[in-house]
Structure 1
Amino acid sequence: MMNVMKTKMGWIEVVCGSMFSGKTEELIRRLRRAQIAKLKVQVFKPTIDSRYSADHIASHNSQKLLAKAIRSAQEILNLVEKDTQVVGVDEAQFFNQDLVTVCQTLADRGIRVIVAGLDQDYRGVPFEPIPQLLAVAEYITKNNAICVVCGNPASRSQRIVAEGDRVVVGAQEAYEARCRLCFDAKLHEKIKQKEEKHAKSKTTHRQPEVRA
Structure 2
Amino acid sequence: MAVSTPNAAPAIRQRLRPSMPFCICHSSRRSGGVKRLSILTCGKYRVRTPDPLASARIPRMAAQRIPWLHVIAGCMSSGKTAEVVRLLSRREIAGQSVLLITPSRDTRVAPGEVVSRTGTRFPSVVAADASAIRAEVLKRDPDAVAIEEAQFFGADLPGILEELVAGPRTVIVSGLDQDFAGRPFATIPELLARADEVTKLTAICVKCGREATRTQRMRNGQPASVSDELIVIGGMGGDDTYEARCRACHVVLP
Q: TM-score range by the shorter chain?
A: 0.7 to 0.9
* Structure-2 separation of matches of 1:53 and 1:127: 25
SS in structure 1 opposite 2:96? coil
Q: Name the aligned partner's letter for residue 33 of structure 1.
A: R
* Structure-1 separation of matches of 2:73 and 2:65: 26
* Structure-2 separation of matches of 1:49 and 1:156: 20
The reply on whether 1:11 has 2:68 as its aligned counterpart is: yes
TM-score, normalised with respect to structure 1: 0.81
Q: Please provide the CA RMSD for this pair.
A: 1.7
Larger radius of gyration: 2
Alignment of 1:50-199 (within 5 A): 50-80=107-137, 81=139, 83-161=141-219, 164-171=228-235, 174-186=241-253
* Structure-1 separation of matches of 2:235 and 2:74: 15
Q: Could you say which residue in structure 2 is the equivalent of 1:198?
A: none
TM-score, normalised with respect to structure 2: 0.68
SS in structure 2 opposite 1:121? coil
The reply on whether 1:31 has 2:98 as its aligned counterpart is: no
Task: Answer 1 or 2: which has greater helix percent.
Answer: 1
Task: Answer 1 or 2: which has greater strand percent.
Answer: 2
Q: Name the aligned partner's letter for residue 130 of structure 2.
A: A
* Structure-1 separation of matches of 2:94 and 2:152: 30
CA deviation string 1:93-117 (max 9, x = no partner): 1111211112111111111000110
Call closer, same or farther: CA 1:11–1:174 in 2, change over 3 Å: same
Call closer, same or farther: CA 1:129–1:39 in 2, change over 3 Å: same
Residue 8 of structure 1: how far off its partner (Å)? 4.2
Residue 62 of structure 1: how far off its partner (Å)? 1.9
Call closer, same or farther: CA 1:64–1:89 in 2, change over 3 Å: same
Moved over 4 A (4+): none
* Structure-2 separation of matches of 1:183 and 1:62: 27
Would you say the 8 A contact 2:65–2:143 is kept in 1?
no
Residue 57 of structure 1: how far off its partner (Å)? 1.9
Q: Could you say which residue in structure 2 is the equivalent of 1:192?
A: none
Q: State the number of aligned residues.
A: 181
Q: Could you say which residue in structure 1 is the equivalent of 2:15?
A: none
SS in structure 2 opposite 1:160? strand
* Ranges in structure 1 where 5+ consecutive residues have no aligned partner: 1-6, 190-212
Q: Could you say which residue in structure 1 is the equivalent of 2:103?
A: 46
Q: Which has the higher contact order (CA 8 A, sep 6+)?
A: 1
CA deviation string 1:65-92 (max 9, x = no partner): 1111111111122111364110010011
* Ranges in structure 2 where 5+ consecutive residues have no aligned partner: 1-63
